[in-house]
Amino acid sequence: MKKRTASSTNTDRRIFAIAGGSGDLGLRVIEALCQREVSVRALVRKETSSDICHLIKQKGADVYLVDFDDVLALTTALEGVYCVISTLNGLEPVLIDTQGKLLNAAVQAGVPRFIPSDFSLDFTKTTAGQNRNMDIRRDFKKRLDATPIQATSILCGAFTDLLTGQAPIVIKKLNRILYWGNPDQALNFTTRDDAAHFTALAAMDDDAPRILRISGDTVSANALANIMSALTGSHYKTLRAGGMKRLGLLITLARKLDTQKTDVFPVWQGMQYIRDMFSGRGQLEPLDNERYGKYAWTRVQTVLASDQDDEH
């Protein structure tokens, strides 16, 4: 595969704007871009703390305090920008409404390119109505594709650090790897740093396609059991929780019992994500990992080993 020339030089005068720059992924994307010596504008809400604004400036970006409901002011903030990168996080009010206002402003300002906040499984292949967060991304894709702007979505699977506790897969107390369906099903994981690195390169790539798929590592439940056994010296086994039908029934029950309808990632949403991973419907293929040349992607084993070190 021919290596793409997305790297910057000191003569690169393009401006990149990031919405959601005060968040975890946004800060990492800002840092990745600033390391390439391009001009970066961080669009943050007016109520953002001075400490966060200072941190953004330390990374090398200019802070633009904006009201996302003020389309005129938002359009002005995007004047001269080459690419808008959204790392906004939330449900419809954020990913459809607020991100939609950002898109409208980008079009009005004549911004050539837009990267939406689609960092996820392959929502283009999952089943509509089966995963709320994938449905939201699908809906915004339709809106984005109806504009003249050149869009690129970056799909990266699940963030690898979820394996250190948030995702109910590695069960340390029982020395078990919990799985649904097939223990050999390939699962895609990418660290936030690696996703940010690739996003910066994609933002600088004039020829970036509509969809880019990356996976820092691809492992199965069986592979995870082997990794944890090697890291801990204890024998890890896989534990089958059931098939997709049982998981679907549990999701339906959990959703009915949920009283907090505005949570971005309630238990049942995590279960929907797990279903799309273990069913294979959200699997990323083919991968674009080498689009910008060789890169030392962070392996699942490295993240789990670091977590072991932190515990000791």
Residue 107 lies in a domain: yes
Q: Does 55 reside within a domain?
A: yes
What SS3 class is residue 62?
strand
In DSSP terms, which residues pair with 150 in a beta bridge?
113
| Secondary structure class of 114 (helix, strand, coil) | strand
Domain total of the chain: 1
Q: What percent of the chain shows pLDDT beyond 70?
A: 95
Q: Is residue 230 part of a domain?
A: no
Give the confidence band of 167 by pLDDT, cuts at 50, 70, 90: confident
Q: What is the CATH number of the domain that holds 153?
A: 3.40.50.720
pLDDT score of 93: 95
Task: Determine, yes or no, domain membership for 151.
Answer: yes
Residue 275 confidence (pLDDT): 96
Find the domain containing 102 and state its range. Answer: 15-158+190-215+283-293
Find where tokens 């009201």 sit.
67
88 assigned to some structural domain: yes
Stated length of the chain: 312
Q: Is residue 278 part of a domain?
A: no
Instruction: Indicate the pTM of the whole model.
Output: 0.93
Q: Is residue 61 part of a domain?
A: yes
pLDDT interval class at 263 (50, 70, 90) = confident
pLDDT digits (tens, 9 = 90+) for 229-250: 999 999 999 999 999 999 999 9
Segment 265-310, tens digit of pLDDT: 788 999 999 999 999 999 999 999 999 999 999 999 999 999 876 7
- In whole angstroms, give the CA distance from residue 162 to residue 145: 31
Angle between helices 132-145 and 99-108 (to 10 degrees): 10
| pLDDT tens digits, 123-150 | 999 999 999 999 999 999 999 999 999 9
